[in-house]
Amino acid sequence: MTSMKTPDDVSRSEVPMVLADRVSKSFGTNQVLKSISLTVKRGEVMCLVGPSGSGKSTFLRCINHLEVVSAGRLSVDGDLIGYREANGKLYELHPKEAARQRREIGMVFQLFNLFPHMTALENVMEAPRLVKGLPKAQAEQRARDLLARVGLADRSDYYPAHLSGGQQQRVAIARALAMEPKLMLFDEPTSALDPELVGEVLDVMKGLAKSGMTMIVVTHEMGFAREVADSFVFMDGGVVVESGKPSEVLANPQHKRTQAFLSKVL
């Protein structure tokens, strides 16, 4: 009963940001994730790397409950995702509860998924106003600050169609940050970009990492992983093949599959 007496914030700081315990996911008979166990600490930047079809994107989508886990437990900041556990039984969460969990988890997509009928500013303002009920003036001020932060202060009145891919992705990052998430998920954020636009998005992500944000990044940018990530996880066929410090894994991969993959991308 002593843990009950501990102040909430103290006990929280000891809880890892993301805790995956033997997480599995199947689509029909196709098992995409096979008993994944991972821990992401507060403020940690983890890079998830692997060939396409290895399950890394699916794992990311499970973290904010865009996909439902088939087996195992997945929790963010101590909260079980998608379920409530009581008396040894799991209860499915009401969609409202699931939405409340998602608010605190920002997500950035490969294809940006900006709202095309809204300007950059409106894209960033929308969720705080609608979901958090922030007054318009306050939401706009915050949106302008965030757009400035990603270097797009002068593009706030542009529609996504009139922005370059790199600019769109930076707006998407600002949009996710507007909800003040405690965890950011990046699903191949630079894979759809022209090579010369990749840098501007990675720069924003580096800045975010330095500011102490907890991040899980699915990426093929090994330079980014080496420079920014605290941990490096290589996945293949739905399992974690190898993990460790990025400098160590990249320089000296232990597993054959990792060696083969890295020899192709490095």
Q: Which CB atom, from 179 or from 262, has the smaller least distance to other proteins?
A: 179
> Does position 77 bind other proteins by CB under 8 A?
no
Interactions with other proteins, residue window 211-240 (CB under 8 A): 211
Among 57, 58, 167, 231, indicate the residue that binds other proteins (CB under 8 A).
167
Interactions with other proteins, residue window 80-139 (CB under 8 A): 95-96, 99-100, 102-103, 105-107, 109, 111, 113-119, 126-127, 130-131
Calculated CA dihedral for residues 100, 172, 46, 203, nearest 10 degrees: -150
CB of 160 to other proteins, least distance (A): 7
CA-to-CA dists, residue 68 to 92, 98, 101, 181, 195, angstroms? 11, 11, 14, 21, 34
Q: Which CB atom, from 102 or from 257, has the smaller least distance to other proteins?
A: 102
158 vs 156: CA distance, rounded Å = 6
Q: Give the list of residues 6+ apart from residue 75 with CB closer than 8 angstroms, or none.
A: 18, 19, 81
CB of 103 to other proteins, least distance (A): 3
> Does position 192 bind other proteins by CB under 8 A?
no
Q: Which CB atom, from 64 or from 214, has the smaller least distance to other proteins?
A: 64
> Does position 210 bind other proteins by CB under 8 A?
yes
Q: Are 181 and 105 in contact (CB under 8 A)?
A: yes
Kind of pairing between the strands at 89-92 and 83-86: antiparallel
Q: Are 149 and 174 in contact (CB under 8 A)?
A: yes
3-class DSSP assignment, residue 88: coil
Q: Are 235 and 243 in contact (CB under 8 A)?
A: no
Footprint of other proteins on this chain (CB under 8 A)? Answer: 64, 66, 95-96, 99-100, 102-103, 105-107, 109, 111, 113-119, 126-127, 130-131, 148-155, 157-162, 164, 166-167, 170, 172, 175-176, 179, 196-197, 199-200, 203-204, 206-208, 210-211
